[in-house]
Amino acid sequence: MADQKQQEDINPWGLKSWTYLSSLRQQSPLIQCITNFVSMDIMANTLLAAGASPAMVHSILEIPDFTPHAKSVLINVGTLTPDWLPAMKAAAGLANQLGKPWVLDPAAVGASSFRLKACLELIELKPTVIRGNGSEIIALSMASIGSTKGADSLHESSDAVESAKSLAKSSGSIVAISGSVDFVTDGERVVGAHNGVPMMQKITASGCSVTALIAAFVAIDPTHAFEATASAFSVFGLAGDIGMELAKGPASLRMHLIDSLHRLDQDTVLDRVTITNFS
Ligand SMILES: Nc1ncnc2c1ncn2[C@@H]1O[C@H](COP(=O)(O)OP(=O)(O)OP(=O)(O)O)[C@@H](O)[C@H]1O
Ligand SMILES: Cc1ncsc1CCO
Ligand SMILES: [Mg+2]
C-alpha cells in the first residue's frame, strides 16, 4: 500500500528530467556548438555543469573531421556574418546525413532580412529542435522581420504558442519557446515548463545556454526530442529557482545557477520539476 502511494506520488516529468540529467552526467556526450561570441563562455560552462562535454568548433575546415564525433550539434545565429553561414550549413547538413540530432537557436532572427533568410535556409536542413523566445518564434513562423528589439523578446511566450505549432507542422521540428512559461510543441502536443525566475532574462545568453542544454538532452535520446526539450527547460529553470535563493542580482545569479545545475540531486528534481499539459 505504501509502495502504491509512493508510485502515485511520483512526478512523471520529474522522473524523466532526472533520467536525462543523470544519463548526461554518466555519458558526458560531446556537443559541437557553433554559436555567437556573447554566449560562448556561459554556454560552455552550462554544458559542463550539467555533465556534457562542449566544444566551440566552427571553422568550415574542421567540420568534416569533427562533426562525426559529436553526439549533437547546436547552431546559434546570434552574431551571424556571411563567412559563418557556410560552416553552419555544412555542420547541419552533415549532422542530418549522419542521423545526428541538431538544434537551431534563431537568435534575433527578426533583426534583419539576412538573418531571417539564413534561418529559413537552416530550417530546410531539418533541425531536430528550434528554440527561440516569443518574438523569434513569431518572426520565424511569419517569415517576417521587424517585430523585435534585437536579442530580447517583445512578446510573452504564450503569445507565440500558435506560431510555434504552425512552425512545428511546417518544419517537422520540435519548437520550443522560452519565457515565463517555457512551451514545447510538436505541432499537436503542447507542454509548459514552469520552473525559472524572471531575473534569468537579465543574464545575457541564458536563452542560448538553455538551447545548448536542449542539444545535450537530445543527444541522450534523439528519438524523444519533445520529452528531452521539456526536461532541459525544467532542469535549467530549476537551477535558476535554486540559484535565485542565493543571488543578489544577475551576476551572482549567473554563478549560482551554474553551481545549482552542477549540484542538482534526484530528490530536488523529482520534487520541484513542474511541467503541465496545454493541449
Ligand atoms: N519571466 C520569466 N520568468 C521565469 N523565467 C524566465 C522568464 N523569462 C525568461 N525566463 C527564463 O530565462 C531563460 C532565457 O529565456 P529568454 O526568453 O530570456 O531567452 P532569450 O531571449 O533567447 O535570451 P538570450 O538571447 O539572452 O540568450 C529561459 O530558461 C527562460 O525559461
Ligand atoms: C546580446 C546579444 N547580441 C547578439 S547575440 C546576443 C546574446 C543573446 O542572444
Ligand atoms: Mg536568444
For ligand 1, atom 9, the nearest C-alpha belongs to 179
Query: Quick one: pLDDT at residue 147?
Result: 73
Environment class of 18 (CB within 10 Å of its CB; exposed 0-12, middle 13-18, buried 19+) = buried
Instruction: Classify the phi-psi angles of 205: left when phi > 0, otherwise alpha if psi is within -120 to 50, otherwise beta.
Output: left
Domain with 142 in it: 7-277
Task: Judge whether 1 lies within some domain.
Answer: no
Judged on CB neighbours under 10 Å (0-12, 13-18, 19+), 65 is: exposed
Q: Does residue 214 lie in a domain region?
A: yes
The finding on whether 39 has its CB within 6 A of some atom of ligand 2 is yes
Atom of ligand 2 lying closest to residue 205 CA: 8
The answer to whether position 186 is within a domain reads: yes
Ranges of residues in the chain whose predicted pLDDT is under 50 = 1-2
Which CATH number covers residue 59?
3.40.1190.20
Query: Cβ contacts of residue 74 below 8 Å, gap of 6+?
Result: 31, 32, 33, 34, 35, 43, 102, 103, 105, 211, 212, 215
Residue 268 placed within a domain: yes
**Which is the closest atom of ligand 2 to the Cα of 204?**
8
Is 27 part of a structural domain of the chain? yes
Does residue 38's CB lie within 6 angstroms of at least one atom of ligand 2?
yes
Domain presence at residue 2: no
Q: What is the pLDDT of residue 2?
A: 42
CA torsion through residues 110, 112, 118, 124, sign: positive
pLDDT at 279: 78
Angle (CA) 231-238-173 rounded to 5° is 30
pLDDT at 7: 53
- Name beta bridge partners: 182: 193
Q: Pocket of ligand 2, candidates 38, 46, 200: which has the most ligand atoms within 8 Å of its Cβ, to mutate?
A: 38
Distance of CA 204 to the CA centre of its chain: 15
Can you tell me which atom of ligand 1 is nearest the CA of 182? 31
End-to-end CA distance of the chain: 33
Q: How far is 164 from 172, CA to CA, in rounded Å?
A: 11
Say if 91 falls within a structural domain.
yes
How far, in Å, is the centroid of ligand 2 from the Cα of 93? 25
Ligand nearest to the CA of 133: 1
The predicted pLDDT at position 149 comes to 80
Q: What is the pLDDT of residues 155-172, one digit of tens each?
A: 999 999 999 999 999 999
Ligand 2 contact via 178 beta carbon (within 6 Å):
no
How many domains would you assign to the chain? 1
pLDDT on residue 1: 40
Would 74 be classed as within a structural domain?
yes
Q: Which of 79, 129, 133, 241 to mutate to test the pocket of ligand 1 (most atoms within 8 A of CB)?
A: 133
Residue in this structure with the C-alpha cell 560552416, named with its chain if needed: 87
How far, in Å, CA of 43 to CA of 39, rounded?
Answer: 6
Among 36, 149, 201, the mutation site with the greatest number of ligand 2 atoms within 8 A of its Cβ is 36
Whole-number pLDDT of residue 4: 54
> Can you give the C-alpha Rg of the chain in angstroms?
17
